[in-house]
Structure 1
Amino acid sequence: MKKIAAFLLSIGPGLFCIGYTVGTGSVTSMAKAGSQYGSQLLWVLALSCIFSWALMEAYGRYAVVTGRTAVNSFKTELKFGKVLAVVLIVGIVIGQWNSLSGIVGLSANALYEIARLFLPGLPAESYWAVLSIAVVILAILYFLLIVGKYSFFEKILILFVTIMGVSFLISMFIVLPPPGEIAMGFIPSIPEGEGGSLLVAAFVGTTMAAPTFVVRPLLMQGKGWAREHTSLQSRDALSSALLMFVISASIMVTAMGALYYKGLTINKVIDMVYTLEPVAGKFAVALFMTGALSAGLSSVFPILMVAPLLISDYKNGELDLKSKLFKRLTAVACVVGLSVPILGANPIAAQIATQVANVFVLPLVIGGIIYMVNRKAVMGEHRAGWLLNTGLVLAFIFSCVISVIGFTALKDFF
């Protein structure tokens, strides 16, 4: 256990990235896709994780070699850099705060469904109970945030991500479908019918999450990594991408094994309870919902921090966790996070729509780092080689295509 804990601590920034990406947005998108299309979209997940690896490597390498952060570098080093930096901050914060409301709603619903699983006397739906749970979740996380130490945040995320990963992996093996049918998901195809394109865009929006990459240099700074930690940073990026794929794929395969073959799809959080319980029993349902809850909490924690972190990056290129601005903006984010529970909206529909919105700033995030990581005067021998550049260019093309698909899908959705 000590060796496992030491390994997880050694990839702390990578766990922050998992916190941003594998949240209830991923749980929602992967579970809905697995229930509706089986493993058909596994290839989209694999591509997104490969491109995420390239982007985490690029942003992390730039940070440890130069000692600089992303937004501040864009502002000072690029033509029209101030405009680009402001657009990135506004786009990322709006996308993340929109996601936050759905995540909090899903987490509160997951806790309520776990309670109903063991206390059948509770009503099927309770607006005030779910809202109260959401308020308690945000109050606890806000209290933890104002402690203001990176190492403390890292340990909390390790706990959430570990519980999430173990829960989803065990759930997958309980209802494991034939391996050959899972492997068919690596053959590229887009599902026909309503909602297929929306889910493809949501996959990319939740896996190739722009804040994952833009915030990464700040996390390198918080970890104290510099030029001599280049290889450690690379291992961190690879480990994070692999864990992202394994955890997300296990959610999709669980939904495939439990729901797809019965022709059942997910429209509400409670659907996972009703459909998993007859197949695998209360234990498996509790495991899956615990994983969903941990995914939500692991996402809420860094998302609450995203606005003050990016603004601090823009102003002075430093990781600031103790200022009044940090406390005020995280408090505002908490209020935003209550919007879905207060409105009583369906958190799954809200979550998928907001995850799609995240893809629109992605081309800017990729284009900016392609330029920065190829500057020989700054990067020296560590500038991007042909392999990393190939990954970044393909990621840029992929993000542009997905942005078009996402725009069309959102237009049809509304």
Structure 2
Amino acid sequence: MENPVAKTSFIKKILALVLAFGPGIFAIGYTIGTGSVTSMIVAGSTYGMQLLWVLVLSCVFSGMLMYAYGNYALVTGETALYAFKKHLKWGKPIAILIILGISFGQWNSLMGILGISANIIFEIFLIYFPSLADYQYELVLTIAIVVIAVMYHFLLIGKYIFFEKILVIFVTIMGLSFFISLFMVFPLPIEVAQGLIPSVPQVEGGSMMVAAFVGTTMASATFLSRPLFVKGKGWTIKNLKQQKKDAVIAASLVFIISASVMAVACGALFHEGQPVTKVLDMVNTLEPVAGKFALTLFFFGTLSAGLSSIFPCLLIAPILLSDYQSGELDTSSKQFKVITAIACLFALIVPVFGANPIEMQIVSQVFNVFVLPLVILGIILLINNTKLMKEYKAKLLLNIGLYAALFFSCVISYNGVIALIDYF
């Protein structure tokens, strides 16, 4: 006979393992949102696995940057922008430029995230109540208002541990949904191998997609916010090894989940010649190829990705401002409440005007690459400062990786400028 105590104990151990995940959960929340999912779906359905090499490089560099920013925080006790302002020449204007650039990019992403999430919930309702099709605009807008209001309420009552647990739930559902979907619809091994060879699609929108890939995977917000989340976790210099492990796991999971989404879109849609341009395209094209169960799983994962990103996107502006001012985040302050309320209203722009959230999402991801070189250069200067880091100063291998990331980010930023000029 099965022992119920042993069964309960096993479930508790699993939950404890999941909840033990550190600040890396916020990295996944920032990185794998509907922006990332949308980019992966559009890329996989339009170009197959051709851009897999971009994803690999972005995740490797992201892991290094998370590790570098986390180490700096544990060794010095300082957060990123506060350290820029305090220790770097021209640090104040650089920090302000970074705050404006990242907040603009994340708030633009937030519009697309909320629009896609509301549309997905509407499509789920439509499966059971087809008569609602005539009221799409009104219902999508109502759903968007309800979702953002609930998220704002959670922000006002929550602390770090609360945010972390909410994100763990969403990210776990998202990861499992996409990973299981991969076993039902997958690309050919040769396509995966060819995707590791650097190349840019020589078609309209190809350059923008490369920039969007990097903008969503190497998200500056992920690195700059890490010191605050490391401090919020209560980690100290004794947790250096744990911090490194957390960064590696976070970067690895970002790659696995993102590659799974791209692979599902490639396997199901690319060979059918059906690129995704609207939220409804995901339903119409995936269902006949993947079946209802895989479709439901994929949609559930996409919705979880959206909901897991709303939290970090709402948090980013007050986090960066608090970082610049004092290095401490006070979620009960008037400043926090006002800024997050403005972000919530900003998020409703796409639902209110009925714009195409997928197109908005792709364009908004491109904006994220422009401050990336500054964010990388800043941490290179800080972790090589012997006075600040002492014996924990960056070693040769990390420096090689960070300078490679800086060169990569400069190339992609230039590519993003050209893509946006062509777009507008």
Offset of residue 271 of structure 1: 0.4
Determine the structure 1 residue equivalent to 2:124.
114
Spell out, residue by residue over 1:121-167, the C-alpha distance to the aligned partner (whole angstroms, 9 max, x if none). Answer: 33177111100110011011011111131000000000010010011
Partner secondary structure for residue 359 of structure 1: coil
Residue 319 of structure 1, aligned match among 321, 329, 342: 329
Partner of 2:388: 378
In structure 1, give the amino acid aligned to 2:223: F
2:190 aligns with 180
- Name 1:291's counterpart in structure 2: 301
Counterpart pick for 1:213 among 218, 223, 229 = 223
Q: Which runs of 5+ in 2 are unaligned?
A: 1-10
Deviations 1:355-403 (A, max 9, x none): 0000000000000000001111211221111111111000000000000
- In 2, the alpha carbon distance for the partners of 1:273 and 1:208 equals 29
* Larger displacement relative to structure 2 (168-177 or 64-73): 168-177
Percent identity reads 59
Q: Quick check: 1:37 aligned with 2:47?
A: yes
Q: Does 1:347 align with 2:357?
A: yes
- Whichever residue aligns with residue 195 of structure 1, its letter is G
Query: Partners of 2:15 and 2:244 in 1: how far apart?
Result: 19
Hey, what does 2:90 align to over in structure 1? 80
Answer yes or no: is the 8 Å Cα contact 1:39–1:184 preserved in 2: yes
Out of 305, 308, 312, the position equivalent to 2:315 is 305
Aligned twin of 1:144:
154
What letter matches 1:392 in structure 2? L
Aligned to 1:25: 35
Q: Which of these residues, 198, 201, 204, is aligned with residue 214 of structure 2?
A: 204
> Match for 1:46: what amino acid?
V
Tell whether 2:234 aligns with 1:234. Answer: no
Tell me whether 114-123 or 187-196 shows the greater mean CA deviation: 114-123
- Residue type of the alignment partner of 1:135: I
CA distance in 2, matches of 1:249, 1:289: 16
- Deviation of 1:200 after TM superposition, in Å, equals 0.3
Matched, 1:259 2:262: no
Cα contact 1:36–1:265 (8 A) shared by 2? yes
Q: What is residue 64 of structure 1 aligned with on the other side?
A: 74
CA distance in 1 between partners of 2:91 and 2:200 (Å): 37
Q: Separation in 1 of the partners of 2:285 and 2:73?
A: 46
2:8 paired residue number: none
Rounded to whole Å, the distance in 2 between the matches of 1:366 and 1:216 is: 14
Q: Corresponding residue for 2:23?
A: 13
Offset from partner CA, 1:242-288 (integer Å, 9 cap, x none): 00000000100010011001111001011010111111222211111
- The equivalent position to 2:170 in structure 1, one of 149, 156, 160, is 160
Q: Deviations over 1:53-80 (max 9, x none)?
A: 1100100000111111001000111111
Deviations 1:76-112 (A, max 9, x none): 1111111111111111111111111111101111111
Q: Deviations over 1:324-374 (max 9, x none)?
A: 111111111000000000110000110000000000000000000000011
**Is 1:270 aligned to residue 280 of structure 2?**
yes
In the alignment, is the contact (CA less than 8 A) between 1:56 and 1:237 conserved in 2?
yes
Which residue among 54, 69, 74 is the counterpart of 2:64?
54
- Confirm whether residue 336 of structure 1 aligns to residue 346 of structure 2: yes
Q: Deviations over 1:292-337 (max 9, x none)?
A: 1111111110110111111111111112222111111111100000
Q: Structure 1: give runs of 5+ residues left out of the alignment.
A: none
- Aligned residue for 2:131, secondary structure, equals coil
What is the CA–CA distance in structure 2 between the aligned matches of 1:182 and 1:124, rounded to whole Å? 42
Q: TM-score, normalised by structure 2?
A: 0.96
The 8 Å contact of residues 117 and 282 in structure 1, kept in 2 or not, is answered as: no
Q: Is the 8 A contact 1:142 1:330 kept in 2?
A: yes
- Structure 2 match to 1:279: 289
* Aligned mates of 1:390, 1:117 — CA distance in 2: 52
Q: Which amino acid aligns with 1:113?
A: E
Measure the CA separation in 2 of the matches of 1:184 and 1:322: 51
Please give the alpha-carbon distance, in whole angstroms, between the structure 2 residues aligned to 1:90 and 1:80: 16
Paired AA for residue 323 in structure 1 = S
CA contact (8 A) 1:148 1:322 kept: no
Aligned match of 1:243: 253
Q: What TM-score do you get using the length of structure 1 for normalisation?
A: 0.98
* Consecutive aligned runs of 4 or more in structure 1 exceeding 4 Å deviation: none
> Match of 2:5?
none
Partners in 1 of 2:126 and 2:182 — Cα distance?
23
Q: Please state whether the residue corresponding to 1:186 is helix, strand or coil.
A: coil
Paired with 1:74 and 1:126, the residues of 2 have a C-alpha distance of 47
